[in-house]
């Protein structure tokens, strides 16, 4: 009986450190995963008014529609027609979106105005800016139409800027219906 107790005691002394180590590694991995999830915005769209994203230069662009249906950062159902549901910015202006914290993202989707029979092409540039103020051009195109998805390297972002380089094929305006940014696998 003493031999069995002794073997059990030796086994528990040798097995416990291994068990504690694996739990510790698991805890570190879980903690790291939780932090990454927060930094990546819970893997959801971070460009939403409800989550704290703001258009910081709202006085330099115009909003078509009422207070519930004019921001490209809204998450409600869209109702867009000729006079409501989008933003307008003239050539040479930015649409600047400030985020409530620095996020790690790698995907931006924008939806430009496409709600009439005319095919519009927009000339725009998209920049991302980190918390140190360094800007990086991630997209430049003279033929952006409808919904465009931009994939880029995983980057920490504090601000997203959309620049109206030369308006559309119809006029000098750049119109956004919806904007999204998130971390995609």
Q: Is the pLDDT of residue 48 over 70?
A: yes
Superfamily of domain 43-182: Galactose-binding domain-like (2.60.120.260)
Q: What CA–CA distance (Å, rounded) separates 135 from 14?
A: 54
CA 60 from chain center: how many Å? Answer: 22
Q: Is the pLDDT of residue 18 over 60?
A: no
Nearest to 183 by CA among 158, 161, 160, 152: 152
Q: Is the pLDDT of residue 113 over 70?
A: yes
Q: Is the pLDDT of residue 179 over 60?
A: yes
- What residue spans define the domains of the chain? 1-39, 43-182
pLDDT tens per residue across span 55-90 = 999 889 888 877 666 788 887 666 666 667 788 899
pLDDT averaged over every residue in the chain: 83
Q: Is the pLDDT of residue 128 over 90?
A: yes
């Amino acid at each position: 009986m003493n031999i069995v107790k002794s073997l059990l005691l030796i086994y528990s002394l040798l097995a416990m450190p291994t068990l504690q180590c694996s739990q510790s590694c698991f805890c570190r991995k879980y903690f790291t995963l939780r932090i990454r999830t927060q930094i990546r915005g819970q893997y959801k769209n971070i460009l939403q008014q409800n989550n704290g994203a703001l258009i910081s230069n709202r006085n330099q662009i115009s909003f078509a529609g009422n207070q519930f249906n004019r921001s490209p950062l809204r998450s409600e159902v869209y109702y867009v027609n000729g006079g409501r549901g989008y933003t307008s910015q003239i050539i040479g202006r930015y649409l600047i979106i400030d985020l409530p914290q620095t996020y790690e993202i790698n995907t931006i989707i924008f939806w430009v105005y496409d709600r009439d029979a005319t095919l519009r092409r927009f000339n725009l540039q998209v920049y991302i800016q980190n918390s140190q103020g360094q800007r990086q051009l991630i997209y430049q195109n003279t033929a952006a139409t409808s919904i465009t998805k931009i994939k880029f390297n995983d980057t920490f972002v504090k601000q997203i800027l959309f620049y109206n380089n030369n308006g559309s094929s119809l006029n000098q305006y750049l119109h956004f219906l919806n904007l999204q940014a998130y971390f995609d696998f």
